[in-house]
Amino acid sequence: MLKLFFLFKIKIMKHSLKVGFTFGITSGIITTLGLLVGLHSGTHSKIIIIGGILVIAVADAFSDAMGIHISEESENVHTRREIWESTISTFLFKFLFALTFIVPVLLFNLLPAIIISVIWGLIILGVLSYIIAKEQKTRPWKVVVEHLFIAILVIIVTHYIGDWVATFSL
């Protein structure tokens, strides 16, 4: 039922809002999970992870919104209104979705919070990928596997970067 609701909503969504929604949520998942996992393996500190999520929610949301703004302008096919709708929706979806990862960190011990966050992010990315594939009339499993593979690769790489950084003595 939920899948059908989102499929319907994405199909009727204006292009400018769809850009912000899909880009903002995808970036919010992958960037925030990479940050969470990397900071966890490097510091094991709740306060640093919460601070990191807040910083990424603001700074990266602005950065992504600006990137979408310039990208949409460079296509030279969108109205000013459409460009700004894409810009603002990218910021809002990235910002709000990144903040959802704070909830498990606040409610649980750190390792379970990281695991819950990874599961949460991968489920949402999988559902979004499935909906996009259905909308494009392509095989959903290929799109879902491709997108989850990239997200899992980011999680693995950032984990090892955090482990490596933890070996530094400053």
What is the pLDDT, as a whole number, of residue 56? 95
Which pLDDT tens digit goes with each residue over 10-55? Answer: 566 788 899 899 999 999 999 999 999 999 999 999 999 999 999 9
Give the model's pLDDT for residue 2: 52
What per-residue confidence (pLDDT) applies to 79? Answer: 93
| Rounded distance between C-alpha atoms, residue 106 and residue 108, angstroms | 6
The predicted model gives 121-126 an average pLDDT of 97
Q: Is the pLDDT of residue 166 over 80?
A: yes
Instruction: Give pLDDT, residue 10.
Output: 59
CB 105 within 8 A of CB 120: no
Question: What is the percent of the chain where pLDDT is above 90?
Answer: 87
Buried b (16+ CB within 10 A) or exposed e, 25-40: bbbbbbbbbbbbbbbb
For the cut 60, the answer to whether the pLDDT of residue 8 exceeds it is no
Residue with tokens 């819950």: 116
Query: Is residue 92's pLDDT more than 70?
Result: yes
- C-alpha distance from residue 52 to each of 40, 57, 59, 84, 107 (Å): 10, 8, 10, 27, 17
Indicate the residue type of 7: L
pLDDT at 118: 98
Q: What is the pLDDT of residue 150?
A: 98
pTM, two decimals, is 0.89
